[in-house]
Structure 1
Amino acid sequence: MAQLLLKGHPIGNVQGVLFDKDGTLSHSEPHLLALADARINKAIKVAQEQAPGLKLSELNHTLYRAFGVDHGMLDPGGTLAVASRQDNIASTATVFCLLGCSWPQALAMAHTCFNAVDQDGRIDTTPSPLINGAGQLLQDLHQQGITAAVISNDTQSGVEGFLAHHQLSAGVAGIWSADDHPRKPDPQAVLELCGRLGLPPQRCALVGDAETDLQMAIEAGIGGVIGFTGGWSRAPELPSAQHLLHCWTDLTLSTTA
């Protein structure tokens, strides 16, 4: 067991720490903004071909709002930052519906947009950079025998690829991804992950950048609920956080007997 210190002050003893990925471990905003632009541009082309009656300027504006993009910045609580790919497909289809498409047509068009962007190969698929200090903390946890895991709405392959790219796989004992059920932010996802790890939730801390992550952790009985605010241009609002963390270097470990 180890004691977590925030700016040198003890905040709890833990056997394990659960981490969100995007916006917590990973500096994902540039990649997600590029992805939003590509998907919206593709949506406009698909609408021109399959639903020529749609107002394209309204489609453009509404999709940016749906994805949580405003003036070149991403809303840390928006669908693109927080939700899974399937959720983002559903929100895109909903926008098509609002502008006059039937649901079957809207859903088919949304899938076409997302798949076409994937196949274009124009979006850099290199895993996003680590946020400064995150890798060192994961290494410190591993060296001190504290279990680390990732709970994310990215796919299993996306999380694994990110960890492998940054040579962190050996220090992460478990992953709960969008391919697992239930997905975040269902509290059962936390309980299932803790069960896989053989850890009581009350002996774990969870670090996340979304209010839904923190509410999930509280409902699951996680002992330490830490809100991370340093991953986005616009800091997230995290009223449920027991502790707020802006820089990873402020979170350290002290071994306990």
Structure 2
Amino acid sequence: MRTVIFDLDGTLADTSGDLIAAANACFRRMGEGDVLDAGRDAAVALRGGRMMLTHGLKRLGRFDAGVVDRFYPVLLDAYAQAIDTHTTFYPGALAAVAELRARGYGVGICTNKPEALAQQLLENLGVREAFDSLVGADTLPVRKPDPAPLREAARRAGGDPARCLLVGDSDTDRDTARAAGVPSVLVSFGPAGDDMAALDPEALLTHFDHLPDLADRLLGRNRAAAGA
């Protein structure tokens, strides 16, 4: 089976608002108030918790790696308490997932979000059953850009890891796909969308409506032969 594997944050859903709220909860505990802004810092948020803490501390002129390490668990706890307040799926994302499954693809998620948090978010949003697999940052001993999590997500979705593609929003996703020897499709509608073309993916995605046909092309699926 061919599979389409998605990154989560910044690819399927805009999770930046809830991530920034969790980071700001940490900065308030440091006595600094809200340091990050949902509009200005969305791209930073989608790079993960440690990046948000690092960015905020540098903005304050008090970066300390030890402070990042100490507050990272605090951030994860704050995020878990309000994980889906502002999060929304990008237009057409769930319809594209449904169409891919209708065309016979396995569909999974490979994210650098901790697996339990990714599971919680998808369950809270009522969409966990739409995906055949979920591999998080701590599912395996390694995370993206190591190719092992992508390959595992394809296997758990019932597919051949050599016949998958990764849909993502960053150089990490592009590098993961290249390491696995499979195509990458990078979304151009996220906060860092203007930077995606320079990463030279196999394709850019301007709207999820185009993804099923892109998958057919990149994975060499003949719809007529498949009876689609």
Decide which of 5, 9, 14 is 1:27's aligned counterpart. Answer: 14
Q: Map of 1:56-75 to 2, 5 A cutoff?
A: 72-74=39-41
| Structure 1 residues 185 and 236, CA gap change in structure 2 (3 angstroms) | farther
Aligned counterpart in structure 2 of residue 110 of structure 1, from 55, 59, 71: 71
Shift, 1:19, TM fit:
0.2
Q: Which has the larger radius of gyration?
A: 1
Aligned CA-pair RMSD = 3.4
Within-5 A mapping of 1:230-245: 230-232=189-191, 234-238=192-196, 239-245=199-205
Q: Give the CA deviation at 1:208.
A: 0.1
SS of match in other structure, 2:212: strand
Which structure has more strand as a fraction of its residues? 1
- Does residue 156 in structure 1 map to residue 115 in structure 2? yes
CA 1:240–1:75: 2 relative to 1, 3 Å: farther
- Report the 3-state secondary structure (helix = DSSP H, G, I; strand = E; otherwise coil) of the residue aligned with 2:195: coil
One-letter amino acid of the counterpart of residue 214, structure 1: R
Amino acid of the residue matched to residue 82 of structure 1? R
Q: Which SS does the other structure have where 1:82 is aligned? A: coil
Q: Select the residue among 94, 99, 108 that pairs with 1:135.
A: 94
Structure 1: segments with no counterpart, 5+ residues: 2-14, 46-55
Question: Larger relative CO (CA 8 A, sep 6+): 1 or 2?
Answer: 1
Using a 3 Å threshold, how does the CA distance of structure 1 residues 219 and 31 change in structure 2: closer, same or farther?
same
CA contact (8 A) 1:89 1:114 kept: no
Rounded Cα–Cα distance in structure 1 between residues aligned with 2:39 and 2:107 = 33
What displacement does 1:169 show? Answer: 2.5
Q: Is the 8 A contact 1:153 1:183 kept in 2?
A: yes
2:161 maps to a residue whose letter is P
Aligned length: 212
Q: Whole-Å Cα distance in 1 between the matches of residues 168 and 117 of structure 2?
A: 18
Deviations 1:181-201 (A, max 9, x none): 211222222223334344333
Unmatched runs of 5 consecutive residues or more in structure 2 = 217-222
Q: Which residue pairs with 1:169 in the alignment?
A: 128
SS at match of 1:22: coil
In the alignment, the residues of structure 2 paired with residue 100 and residue 139 of structure 1 have an alpha-carbon distance, to the nearest angstrom, of: 44
CA contact (8 A) 1:173 1:197 kept: yes
- Counting aligned pairs with the same residue, the percent is 23
Name the residue aligned to 1:220: 180
AA aligned to 1:186 is D
TM-score by length of 1: 0.67
Q: Residues 168 and 107 (structure 1 numbering): CA distance in 2 closer, same or farther, change over 3 Å?
A: closer
Residue deviations 1:194-234 (CA, integer Å, cap 9, x gap): 34344333311110011111111111111x210112122x5
Correspondence 1:16 to 2:25:
no
Residues 162-194 of structure 1: CA deviation (Å, up to 9, x unaligned) = 333444333311111022121122222222333
